[in-house]
Structure 1
Amino acid sequence: MSIKVRLILGCLIFAGLSIAFGLLSYRGQMDSITKLAAFVDTGIDPLTRLQSTLTNLDAVRNDLDSRIAAEGEAARRSALSGGDLAGILAAVGDVRQNVGALLETGIPDEAKADLRGLVYSLGLIETGYASVSKPTVARELEKIALGLQSASRIVRNDIAARGADATQSFESGTMQGAVGLGMVIFAMLGLLVFLIRSVSSPLRRLSDTARALVAGEEELDIRPTGPSEVRGAFSALKDMQDRYIVLRSTLDAKTNMLSDQIAAQQGQLQAALDNMTQALCMLDGQRRLLLSNGVFNERFGEFDILTPAKKFLPDPSLTSALRENENDSLQMSMHDGTILEVKRRGMSGKGLLVTFEDITERERISKRLHYLAGHDQLTDLPNRRQFGDELDQLLRNAKKPFSIVVVDIRNFKSINDTYGHPFGDALLKCCGERLAGLVDARGSVARLGGDEFAVIAPQTKSTEEARALGQTIVKSFDEPIEVEGRRIFAAVSVGIVAHDPAKAEAEGTNADIMLQNCDLALYKAKEDRTGNGSFRVFEPAMRAKLKQRREMELDLKAALDSEEFELYYQPFVDIVDKRVSGFEALLRWRHPQKGMISPGDFIPLAEEAGVIERLGIWCLETACTEASTWPQSMTISVNLSPMQFKSPTLLADIDRALAKSGLAASRLQIEVTESLFLDESDRVLDILREMRRRGLTVSMDDFGTGYSSLGYLSRFSFNKLKIDQSFVRDLERAENIAIVRAVIGLSKSLKMQVLAEGIETEGQMRRLLAEGCREMQGYFFSTPQPKEELPRVIADITKRWMNDLDVPEASLAA
């Protein structure tokens, strides 16, 4: 029988017993209620009526007896009348009504007989009250009272009998209920025992068997008994036991195999850990050692598993908690100076995986690289970057005035070219050492680049002291520098900024602005062309001039688009052939507000602003286009900036200008200055040779003013040399005439043309002609003129051949 059926059967039995007990109780209660109702209806209520009626009648009798006793004999013999009669009749009527009602009830027959015997007396009083005397009425009332008392006694005895019967019936019902309840309880206990024995015990045995199976008890005997569900469960446990035995044997075999594999892998893992270059340890959630490798043991010592980490890692930050898979990195220093990089990774259960890598050498290299990044490798002085950082730091913290000095070696280029780069490097080292000796211990010296140095001078507390420092630096470099056994004079230009923290805070000064101000003062110092050292202290007006320069730079870029540039032309005069041989194109800028601006003001600015290439192309194309309208015997000379030679399209630009204008290449002269060869001279020479191959005339302007003019003549054969006007201006000096004579002789020897610039007097013209220079240029012939004036210029010069330009044939022959 299944548990389900047993439970249903037990519930049905319990329900049947409960219903039977309920019906039995209901029957007993209904019987008791019926008897109680009969007891009330046939006993209590009639008795109450009798007692009430008897009480009222006794009251009337007592009142009547009192009257009879009080009245005389004659009055007693008289009949009832008035109020007495009404009271007697009312009482008699009440008795008759109650008697009639009592006769309808279930009172005993003896009581009913007594009540019927009262009818005569009641009728006598009611019908004969006019003739019946008061004593007669009193006797009749007494009879009625006695009859009522007799009926009451009979009813009372009947009530007593009925009460005993009801009590017996109630006791019998109570006994039956108790018996029924006992039977129900007994049946329920029996059902409970049945369910326990048939359901609970098998389930408990099933549970115990399952626990034993889970615990892995040996020789466990499983027998399917009990209800069908329990038997099914036991059968399933039996199957599980059989499968467990099979799986256990299989698992034992695999476990043995895996144990061997794990042991082998553990050995391999330990070998791998021991061969790591990093020290490694693993900590559990309680910061106890779980795993370590050989490098860790060598560095920190060998410790047993579960050793607290504080014994070998005393720094709490190394063992602080991390979330799972969270990483962090920090450094620690060992007692022997070793620097370790500690990388930590959070693990499950609040554990930690910690590795230690020796980065001592890396840190040393990093510091060295950091040092090299902030210092000049040649002089070992701080470089521009490091100097800027130091200056920024000083600006943030300085409370007292100090000065910033920028020093530039004026003739370093010529020294480098003359003695070679190694000598120049040695000179730079000596310059740095000399500057370091001019500042106190709080100051610093840096090499900004090239031949430029910077100095932080905390000892200067005012502008006057800054000037004194500048004078000291200039005088110091007036003394020769001993370099590799040679005494070298290296004049310097010095720019100084006197810094006052109170004013600088209001002006928002920073390192960049201070260095810019130093550069402005340095540029001003470089304007001193005496060849000696000079210094300048920065003044706000210099920055205002820089602002004007920036404004001009913006105007310069806009001027190209607005076509504000013009070309003026100054003639070349061939004295021997008595003709204008050509013109030099000179650039002019006609500013709409500032008027005509000198090329000396805007050409350097155009080079700095990066617009010189566009400007040069425009000059080249415009000059070629204008020259194409001149006679074939006239040439056009165009100056090219050194910056234009850095353009990869220079030759293509020249070809395009010639093709566009139709001008022959032989009529175009390209003028260059010696500064062109300062950088990338090999590339420049290649471009010049390509110009010569195209048929262009290449001329060196301002010949003789540089340091290596003769050297360049040996590397490239120019078509023409232009004698600088500085030699022509004072031909009375023996040095100047000697130089002019040498240049003219050199040009003839090298088969080069020669032209003298800056002719301002007839005497200069004739003296140069006497020395053999036949082509000249200068204000004596004409000032630069716009293209519209060129016909007039040619005509004026032609007319002058009969006057001041007239040269005797003997002079020409000589």
Structure 2
Amino acid sequence: MSIKVRLILGFLVFAGLTIASGLMSYRGQVKAVETLGNFISAGVEPLTEIQASLAGLNEARSRLDSEIQIEGEAARRAALTGRALEDVLAAVAEVRQNVGTVLETDIPAEAKADLRGLVYSLGLIETGYASVSKPTVARELEKITLGLQSAVRIVRADLDARGDTADASLESGTLEGGIGLLTVLFAMIGLLVYLIRSVSTPLRRLSQTAQALVAGEDGLDIRPTGPGEVRGAFIALKEMQDRYVVLRSTLDAKTDMLSTQIEAQQGQLQAALDNMTQALCMLDGQRRLLLSNGVFNERFGEFDILTPAKKFLSDPNLTVSLRDNENDSLQMTMPDGTILEVKRRGMSGKGLLITFEDITERERISKSLKYLAGHDQLTDLPNRRQFGEDLDQLIKTARKPFALVVADLRNFKLINDTFGHPIGDALLKCCGDRLAGLVDARASVARLGGDEFAVIAPQAKSVDEARALGSAIVSAFAEPFEVEGRRIFASVSVGIVAHDPSVDEADSANADMMLQNCDLALYKAKEERSDSGAFQLFEPALRANLRQRREMELDLKAALDADEFQLYYQPFVDIADKRVSGFEALLRWNHPAKGMVSPGVFIPLAEEAGLIERLGIWCLETACAEAATWPESMTISVNLSAMQFKSATLLSDIDRALSNSGLAPERLQIEVTESLFLDESDRVLGILKEMRRRGLTVSMDDFGTGYSSLGYLSRFSFNKIKIDQSFVRDMGRAENLAIVRSVIGLSKSLNMQVIAEGIETEGQMRALLAEGCHEMQGYFFSTPQPKEELPRVIAEITKRWAGDLTIAAETTLAA
């Protein structure tokens, strides 16, 4: 029989006995409860009712007897009335009600007979109280009292008998419960003994057998006995014992085979170690040699096993202890200059595994890469990053004054465009060499990028020496360069900072600050239009100007939001047709605190601050909206910055301005300068062609002041050319007159219109008219005016056709 079946049977027997005991106990308790209930309902409650009636009746009798004793004979024989009557009737009613209730219970027959005998007396009092005398009532009450007393004695005797019966019933139920409990207890003890003998003992024997098998005891005899599960476990242990014997014999055979293989692999491992490119050794906890390879033996010598490490490793850092699996790395240089990277790893027992790798070539390449990362590949000079690091280091350690110089070539892009990039690269090398020749050996010359160079000059120990150095650089670069058989002029703008560690340390705390100060001085130097170059020494006022510039930039952003800008208009006058042909829109800024700000100040600032696109859109939309109110014969000219051509939405912005205003495209004239073509000229030409395709008039402003005007005319056919005012103002010079005459002739040959700006005198007007230019602009006709003044301007010019603007008919025909 299995353990499972034995457990199930045992628990079923135990459950049956428990249920039987419970049923016996339940039956005894039910019987006791019934007996107790009968005892209360047939004995205690009737007795309580009768005694309550007796108590009320005795109280009424007592009051009645007291009243009879006090009253006279005539009063005693009178009928019962008043308060005494109420008390007697209430007591009688209570007795009648209680007697009726008690008669319905299971009281003895004798008691019921006594109680029924009281009915007459109760009825006599209740119905004849008006004619019955007080003594008669008293006698009837006494009869009722005696009857109630007799019933009480009979019920009390019956109650005692019933109490004895209830006690006997309770004792019987208690005895039956105790017998059931003892039966269950003996059944549990029997089940426990049964389980111990039939389950626990076989399991303990099984455990002892398994432990003996694990311990490998010889001659172990395993016999399957006990319950089914235990017998199955014994059978499994027997099979394991048989397999163990087989496996042990097999393992012994494989151990012998593996021992042979290990010896062979040890030889292979040693061969692998000997073929490593790294030197390797292994030390034990006492820093003695355990293992080494051929590369190690070649580099450090061949030593016997357990040789102390100090005999072949002179550096004590190599044998410092490490925790298990902890790694570290360091470098060591051999006497022959070889650089080794040493990697160490901690082993159990405080041992060490050390490898030595030759990194001499890698270090050489690393140094070369570091040099390349810090130097300009074209000129072999330090680049901006390296120069900044050197300058930072010098600022931290310098005790004596020195100068920082930044030099920027002028017109380098023109040189590249004219002679080609190879010549430009060769020129940059020559510039670096020329700068190096102007300073002593302690100086550092670097190329910051493009055509910008920098110099750290310890030789300039004062402001005067710094100025002398700047003057020397400008003079040196004023001399032409000999580049591959060509004489090339490349002047420079130079910014200088004279740094004195004891005075202005706070103003030059790092390289970025000093270079920024140098750039401020450089920008100032660039403002000088000298062909031979210029230099500028940094002054604190330049940084103050920078702050003002930043404040102006904030004001510019606020002005756009506050609508502080307005357009002024200067007329185009067609002398031949005697009319105002159009107006040029000129942007003006009326600063609330500074008044009118020059466009030459805020336009470049708007370009730098990224506001020119928003400002340009406002100009376009405002100018088109105003021009739409003019006569259809008049045009409006709007200047576009080169920065606006970088916007991807320029054409769509123009389309929107024309659409919103209703202005015809042919009435809008776009003015651009040659600076537009310095970068991305192909893209710019594509945008200009799209403008022409839309019907717009494209005009080149300031023609002749740039470097490649004719080249641009050959690539794009402008509608109009504007002669720069610098040629018009001094037409008395033959050179300027020749240029004006050439431009007018060129425009006629290319079928382009021509207009001259800057007309300030009648003589200039008539000279231009004589050369064939009949459209003009300048203060001679009108200064720029707000839109409200345009009707007046047109009227005044119209009146002047009979005055100073009068021209002969033949002159008009010639024009």
TM (norm. structure 2) is: 0.68
Distance 1:761 1:370, change over 3 A: same
Query: Given the superposition, is the C-alpha separation of residues 796 and 298 from structure 1 closer, same or farther in structure 2, using an over 3 Å criterion?
Result: farther
TM-superposed deviation, 1:359: 3.0
1:472 aligns with 2:506: no
- Correspondence 1:394 to 2:383: no
Aligned pairs for 1:392-791 (under 5 A) are 392-507=392-507, 509-791=509-791
CA distance in 2: counterparts of 1:300 and 1:617, whole angstroms: 80
Q: Which residue of 2 aligns with 1:182?
A: none
Question: Which residues of 2 match residues 2-17 of structure 1 at below 5 A?
Answer: none
Deviation at 1:247, TM superposition (A): 5.5
Partner of 1:117: none
Q: Structure 1: which amino acid aligns with 2:500?
A: D
Q: Any idea what the Cα deviations from partners look like across 1:714-768, whole Å, max 9, x if unmatched? A: 1111111111110001111100010001011111111111111111111111111
Which residue type is aligned with residue 588 of structure 1? R
Change (3 A) 1:792 1:538: same
**What is the CA distance between 1:700 and its match in structure 2?**
1.0
Q: 1:261 to 1:797 in 2, by over 3 A?
A: farther
Distance 1:656 1:289, change over 3 A: farther
In structure 2, the residue corresponding to 1:687 is in which secondary structure?
helix
Q: Is the alpha carbon distance of 1:321 and 1:772 closer, same or farther for their aligned partners in structure 2, counting shifts above 3 Å?
A: same
Match of 1:329 in 2: 329
Gaps of 5+ in 2: 1-210, 222-237
Amino acid at match of 2:429: K
Shift of 1:811: 0.4
> What per-residue deviation string (whole Å, max 9, x for no partner) do you get for residues 148-185 of structure 1?
xxxxxxxxxxxxxxxxxxxxxxxxxxxxxxxxxxxxxx
Q: Deviations over 1:669-706 (max 9, x none)?
A: 22111111111112211222222222222111111001
The one-letter code of the counterpart of 1:641 is S
Listed one character per residue, the Cα deviations across residues 177-218 of structure 1 (whole Å, up to 9, x for unaligned) are xxxxxxxxxxxxxxxxxxxxxxxxxxxxxxxxx9xx99x99x
- Note the C-alpha offset of 1:607: 1.3
- How much does 1:263 deviate? 4.9
SS at match of 2:363: helix
Change in 2 beyond 3 A, CA 1:242/1:418? closer
Conserved in 1, the CA contact under 8 Å of 2:508 and 2:514? no
Please state whether the residue corresponding to 2:502 is helix, strand or coil: helix
CA distance in 2, matches of 1:276, 1:790: 94
Q: Distance in 2 between matches of 1:759 and 1:590?
A: 26
Alpha-carbon shift at residue 252 of structure 1 (Å) = 1.0
Mapped partners of 1:409, 1:356: distance in 2: 52
Amino acid at match of 1:809: A
Query: Using a 3 Å threshold, how does the CA distance of structure 1 residues 454 and 257 change in structure 2: closer, same or farther?
Result: same
Name the SS for the 1:781 alignment partner: coil
* Alignment-derived partner of residue 382 in structure 1: 382
Q: What whole-Å deviation, never above 9, does each CA across 1:327-384 have from its counterpart, x for those lacking one?
A: 3222222334333333333333333333333333332222222212221111111112
- Give the superposition deviation at 1:794: 1.8
Range with greater deviation from structure 2 (517-526 or 302-311):
302-311
Give the SS at the match of 2:380: coil
Q: CA deviation at 1:476?
A: 1.8
The worse-fitting range, judged by mean Cα deviation, of 682-691 and 731-740 is 682-691
Once the two structures are TM-superposed, the CA of residue 274 in structure 1 deviates from its matched residue by: 5.2
Residue 251 and residue 604 in structure 1: after superposition, are their counterparts in 2 closer, same or farther (change >3 A)? Answer: same
How far did 1:410 drift?
2.0
Matched to 2:518, the amino acid is C
Distance 1:300 1:624 in 2: 90
Unaligned runs of 5+ in 1: 1-209, 224-237
* Structure 1 position 485, deviation (Å): 1.7
The code of the aligned residue for 2:725 comes to Q
CA displacement at 1:506 relative to structure 2: 4.5
Q: 1:351 to 1:697 in 2, by over 3 A?
A: farther
The aligned amino acid for 1:594 is K
| CA distance in structure 1 between the aligned counterparts of 2:341 and 2:626, rounded to whole angstroms | 75
Question: Are the aligned partners of 2:475 and 2:532 in contact in 1 as well (CA < 8 Å)?
Answer: no
**Distance 1:340-1:770 versus aligned 2 partners, 3 A rule:** same
Which secondary structure state, in structure 1, belongs to the residue aligned with residue 621 of structure 2?
helix
- Higher mean alpha-carbon deviation, 301-310 vs 249-258, is at 301-310
**Which residue in 2 is equivalent to 1:203?**
none
2:374 is matched by which residue type in structure 1? G
Structure 1 letter corresponding to 2:479: E
Deviates more, 1:425-434 or 1:740-749: 425-434
How far residue 305 of structure 1 moved from its aligned partner, in angstroms, is: 4.1
Q: Secondary structure at the match of 2:503?
A: helix
**CA distance 1:741–1:426, shift in 2 (3 Å):** same
Is contact 2:499–2:508 with CA below 8 Å preserved after alignment? no
The AA in structure 2 aligned to 1:433 is: D
After superposition, the Cα gap between the structure-2 partners of 1:321 and 1:662, relative to the gap in structure 1 and judged at 3 Å, is: farther
**Alignment partners' CA distance in 2, 1:633 and 1:240:** 117
Inter-partner Cα distance in structure 2 for 1:295 and 1:652: 75
- Please give the alpha-carbon distance, in whole angstroms, between the structure 2 residues aligned to 1:549 and 1:449: 26
SS of 1:670 mapped into structure 2:
strand
Please tell me the residue identity of whatever aligns with 1:764. Answer: Q
Deviations 1:753-801 (A, max 9, x none): 1111111111111111111112111111111112222222222222222
> Which has the higher mean CA deviation after the structures are superposed, 357-366 or 393-402?
357-366
Counterpart code for 1:383:
N
Q: Is the partner of 1:495 in helix, strand or coil?
A: strand
Question: For the residues of structure 1 that align with 2:786 and 2:274, how far apart are their CA atoms?
Answer: 90
Distance 1:383 1:753 in 2: 50
1:656 Cα deviation (Å)? Answer: 2.2
SS, match of residue 501 in structure 1: coil
Summarize deviations over 1:634-675 as a string: whole Å, max 9, x none.
Answer: 222211111122222222222222222222222222211111
Q: Residue 272 of structure 1: CA displacement?
A: 5.4
TM-score (norm 1): 0.68
> Residue 813 in 1 paired to residue 813 in 2?
yes
Q: SS at 1:770's partner residue?
A: helix
Equivalent-residue separation in structure 2 for 1:303 and 1:652 (angstroms): 86
Give the counterpart letter for 1:501 in structure 2: P
| Alpha-carbon distance in 2 for matches of 1:462, 1:627 | 60
Cα distance, 1:601 vs structure 2: 0.4
Corresponding position of 2:309: 309
For structure 1, which segment, 639-648 or 506-515, has the greater mean C-alpha deviation from structure 2 after superposition? 506-515
Taking the aligned partners of 1:457 and 1:578, their CA distance within structure 2 comes to 65
| Matched-pair contact (CA < 8 Å) for 2:480–2:489 | yes
Q: Which amino acid letter does the alignment assign opposite residue 683 of structure 1?
A: R
The 2-side partners of 1:775 and 1:439 are apart by 56
Question: Relative to structure 1, is the Cα distance of residues 410 and 507 closer, same or farther in structure 2, using a 3 angstrom cutoff?
Answer: closer
Structure 1 residues 470 and 579: alpha-carbon distance in aligned structure 2, compared to 1, 3 A threshold:
same
Identity score, percent: 82
Does the Cα contact within 8 Å between 2:566 and 2:588 map onto a contact in 1? yes
- Give the Å deviation of 1:533: 2.3
Amino acid of the residue matched to residue 743 of structure 1?
V
Partner of 2:72: none
Secondary structure class of the residue paired with 2:632: coil
Instruction: Specify the code of the residue in structure 1 equivalent to 2:755.
Output: L
Which residue identity does 1:254 align to in structure 2? K
SS in 2 for 1:502: coil
User: Following the alignment from structure 2 to structure 1, what is the Cα–Cα distance between the partners of residues 683 and 272?
Assistant: 60
Q: Distance in 1 between matches of 2:276 and 2:644?
A: 61
Distance in 1 (alpha carbons) for counterparts of 2:274 and 2:656:
75
Q: Measure, in 1, the Cα distance between the counterparts of 2:640 and 2:803.
A: 36
- Cα distance in 2 for residues equivalent to 1:319 and 1:678: 67
Take 1:264 and 1:384, find their aligned partners in 2: how far apart are those partners? 61
